[in-house]
Structure 1
Amino acid sequence: MITKDKISVSHLQIGMYVCQLDRSWLETPFPFQGFYIRTKHEIEEVKRFCDYVYIDAEKGTQSYKENTPFKPSPLLVEEKKRQAESGEAKSKYVFASDLKKIPLHIGKYDSITKPFKKEIDNAKVLFSDLSYSVEQLSFNLRVGKGLDVSETKKLTKSVVKSVINNPNTMIWLSRLKDKGDYTYNHSLRSSVLATVFGRHLGLEEDDLISLATGVLLSDIGKTKIKRELLNKSGELTEKEMAIVRSHVELGVEMLAKDKNVEHWTLVIVETHHERFNGSGYPYGLVGAEIPFFGQIAGLVDVFDAITSKKSYGQYMTPSEAMDWLYTQRDKMFSSKLIDDFIQAIGLYPAGTIVELTDNSIGLVVSHNPEKRLRPQVLMLRDNNKNDIQSSKTVDLSKRAFMSKVDRPMVRKAILPESLNLSGDKIQGILQRNAQTGLKSLFG
């Protein structure tokens, strides 16, 4: 049972665990159901929204232990020794002792964010070029040609700069791309999510590039596995599962031969399927044994997988996925990592189809980190579910759009199929209205 103490926000101290607010969590930018106070800035943020809060005295003080240098457990040391004695192949990347500590500076890029409409054209070109580059890279590997990631790395650097300018544009574009090969589309979307998450954490630009590149190439080993197996709709046998899981080793082997591939890319590829509770593969790493970039890569990999349409199986809306992720705190992923991810991406990230409280339908352009139910949306259908011929963008947090009864807010996220809204159809709406209703968004 949680022991809660009610205190004034003026008495908050670094290290306290806030488990309840004096208002709904959705009315604030804070993580669901609780968070540790880590900085004086966070205390000031709480003061902006609350008069008093409840703290969990039993949880006491805790630091962000996930972001620590790599320290293999005794079991892993024994495994390394056993592999060396038996002559088995071992990883020089996972067991490396020089994995650096990643500096975090949350909010670092907030002051330089460009408006959506000033970055979207640049982002479109970059995303299209990167998409083509990854597709060609995958095709070349499938037909037996050599690996060359130089062009992909170059484009990734430009995409990172675009995400720094505005994180919503790339998420918007990646979520509208729902056709083509799932594996490389998944890698693209995951890379964008990782970059946006890293931006939120305030990673240095070079670290963002390393993270984005590593996640983009994390499933490159799947080019050596038959598509029929990768796309199998039924349950995999143990043998089939072993083959699919071998993409990690295959990917590291392929990339290690390319002089253009840096150390951190190999680290990410090799650890993106490790899980916080040790249930992952290939090494069963636990907690801080998993390199920080590997933890991020694993989280975005899972989030995109459960929110993306495939040739088989069901998928979730982003808000449903966030609810599910919350159940995995300190299981699949660390609670702190999940809380920060929810804060970075939002319940309704750009590209999410939403129904508003006035029954109209919109497409989220950018999420509002402080008022989660009031993002900026592109209106697609009116409250009778009829297509809007001249679409307009609405910032639900602005009083200018308040109705006589009440200004609308998001009621729920909706899967596109339920409204017959594919990515292509949405793109068609955007093109049809490019010279009229979308001026406020694109020019």
Structure 2
Amino acid sequence: MQFDPEDSIKISIDTLTVGMFVTAIEDSKRVNLASAGRVPSEKALNQLIKKGVKYAWVDKKLSAAGSVFKPVELTEPALPEEAATPLKRKTVSRFSQQKKATKIIREAKGIASKILTQTFEGKTIHVSELDDLAEDMIESILLDSDALHCVSALRNKDEYLLEHSVNVATLLVTFGKHLGLAKETLKQLAIGGIIHDVGKIKVDDKVLHKPARLTPEEFEHMKLHQVYAKDIINTVTGLGDVSRDVCLMHHEKLDGNGYPAGLTADQIPLHGRMSCIVDIYDALTADRCYKQGMSPAEAFKILLSLTPNHLDRELVYKFINCIGIFPVGALVELSDGRVGIVWTSNPSQPLRPEIKCFYSRKYHRFVDVNFVDMKNAQLTINKAISPSQLEVDPKPFYDV
């Protein structure tokens, strides 16, 4: 027998009668999903009362004929909550990790901004300025990348160039770790990610920040940022080959139709192919002056559609496995209508991460923050959603 919670009404326990179909019970403004079914006897009814149940949610259509319903006024509806997934206190460890992650992201944006300014002013860039930042980023990701990815998921379209550079660096290191690359390579990936769009500092601002699709002529001008980048990085002291390739190859395509050099598959090394995937993914999921960011799931579909001509198909699948179908920091909607942030990854069961719930689309209100471990919950993730698709601002809930 099927029932729809949306068809349920809330009644006081003293008006519940034998034959009514109960879908949930409530005590102290907390709703627990009941074993759905009709109240079989007075004994069962008395047991609910003895347990301190104050209200019941019942389905009128599935209740016995002749049942009389006296709904209570839903001035502040309570939220159905999985009894098997109680509120879990977060540890001091996650708090300190996220605090450190916030510092790393802030410093990374500062250094990226400094590099752009130095480039604009014609000053020499020294890779040594990026060494400590790269080391901190790698350490954070090697220990536990969840906190860093949660912080980097916060977007501000007015800081796109800085955020994109930092996010590409973070994702490249995470991807490299997943592929088992050496620590020195991870360091060069981080540095390459930070400086990969340095050439855009010389692109006309009217083109760079145009709130609409570029014309063919404007796009050709935009593509020049890679030509500018080559000139710029030739003056960077201490830049490694991997970092250089990340900067110069992230717009190349396996079929040779990319830019600036039109390289073909056999000319694009692993880290170059990685940078192509990461750059596109972060650009797709970011809010821009001319578009709203999409959900990770939507971005994955586009990445796969670009294989095998533009992107390396095997690497795209490895990237998806690396960050997860539901990446940390992404927003998801659960089967009970709650919305939350993917808070902790679960590599062994990627479809069952831990979710930090804060809003109910069913009741159209914020709810008490609750951490739902999908490994133990009867709930499922209905879909991934982008911040632009959510009717409330999720940013305050990214803090621990």
Q: Which residue, out of 166, 177, 183, partners 1:199?
A: 177
Residue identity opposite 1:396 in structure 2:
M
Q: Which structure 2 residues correspond to residues 204-215 of structure 1 after superposition, within 5 A?
A: 204-215=182-193
Per mean C-alpha deviation after superposition, the further-off stretch among 233-242 and 179-188 is: 233-242
Measured against aligned partners, the alpha-carbon deviations of 1:200-230 in whole angstroms (never above 9, x if no partner) come to: 1111111111111112211101111122111
Q: Which residue, out of 366, 390, 398, partners 1:419?
A: 390
> Structure 2 vs 1, CA of residues 127 and 329 (structure 1 numbering), >3 Å: closer, same or farther?
same
Contact 1:362 1:378 in 2 (8 A): yes
Contact 2:120 2:202 in 1 (8 A): yes
> What does residue 156 of structure 1 align with?
134
1:169 aligns with 2:140: no
Identity of aligned residues (%): 27
1:118 positional shift: 5.5
Counterparts of 2:347 and 2:128 in 1: how far apart (Å)? 36
Contact 1:138 1:184 in 2 (8 A): no
Q: TM-score, normalised by structure 2?
A: 0.72
Contact 1:194 1:300 in 2 (8 A): yes
Aligned-partner SS, 1:387: strand
Q: Which structure 2 residues correspond to residues 37-116 of structure 1 after superposition, within 5 A?
A: 116=94
Counterparts of 2:216 and 2:389 in 1: how far apart (Å)? 35
> What does residue 323 of structure 1 align with?
301
Measured against aligned partners, the alpha-carbon deviations of 1:340-394 in whole angstroms (never above 9, x if no partner) come to: 0110011211111110001111111133334333211111113423212x41322
> What does residue 365 of structure 2 align with?
386
Aligned-partner SS, 1:380: strand
Q: Which residue, out of 332, 337, 341, partners 1:359?
A: 337
Aligned residue pairs: how many? 308
> Structure 2 vs 1, CA of residues 153 and 240 (structure 1 numbering), >3 Å: closer, same or farther?
farther
Per mean C-alpha deviation after superposition, the further-off stretch among 276-285 and 289-298 is: 276-285
> What does residue 380 of structure 2 align with?
409
> What does residue 7 of structure 1 align with?
none
Contact 2:155 2:286 in 1 (8 A): no
> What does residue 69 of structure 1 align with?
none
Aligned-partner SS, 2:366: coil
Counterparts of 1:259 and 1:144 in 2: how far apart (Å)? 14
Counterparts of 2:179 and 2:380 in 1: how far apart (Å)? 28
Counterparts of 2:254 and 2:290 in 1: how far apart (Å)? 27
Q: TM-score, normalised by structure 1?
A: 0.65
1:116 positional shift: 4.5
Aligned-partner SS, 2:375: coil
Aligned-partner SS, 1:331: coil
Residue identity opposite 1:419 in structure 2:
L
> Structure 2 vs 1, CA of residues 116 and 278 (structure 1 numbering), >3 Å: closer, same or farther?
farther
Contact 2:155 2:287 in 1 (8 A): no
Aligned-partner SS, 1:320: helix
Contact 2:342 2:353 in 1 (8 A): yes
Contact 1:197 1:344 in 2 (8 A): yes
1:293 positional shift: 0.9
Contact 1:137 1:149 in 2 (8 A): no
> Structure 2 vs 1, CA of residues 259 and 368 (structure 1 numbering), >3 Å: closer, same or farther?
same
Counterparts of 1:207 and 1:282 in 2: how far apart (Å)? 24
Residue identity opposite 1:385 in structure 2:
H
1:291 positional shift: 1.6
Counterparts of 2:203 and 2:336 in 1: how far apart (Å)? 48
> What does residue 158 of structure 2 align with?
180
Contact 1:164 1:199 in 2 (8 A): yes
Aligned-partner SS, 2:233: helix
Contact 2:157 2:289 in 1 (8 A): no
Larger Rg: 2
1:343 aligns with 2:282: no
Q: Which residue, out of 256, 269, 277, partners 2:255?
A: 277
> What does residue 229 of structure 1 align with?
207
Contact 1:366 1:377 in 2 (8 A): yes
> Which 5+ residue runs of structure 1 have no aligned equivalent?
1-113, 432-441
> What does residue 235 of structure 2 align with?
257
> What does residue 275 of structure 2 align with?
297
Q: Which structure 2 residues correspond to residues 133-152 of structure 1 after superposition, within 5 A?
A: 133-152=111-130
Q: Which has the higher strand share?
A: 2
Contact 1:364 1:376 in 2 (8 A): yes
Aligned-partner SS, 2:260: coil
Counterparts of 1:352 and 1:280 in 2: how far apart (Å)? 30
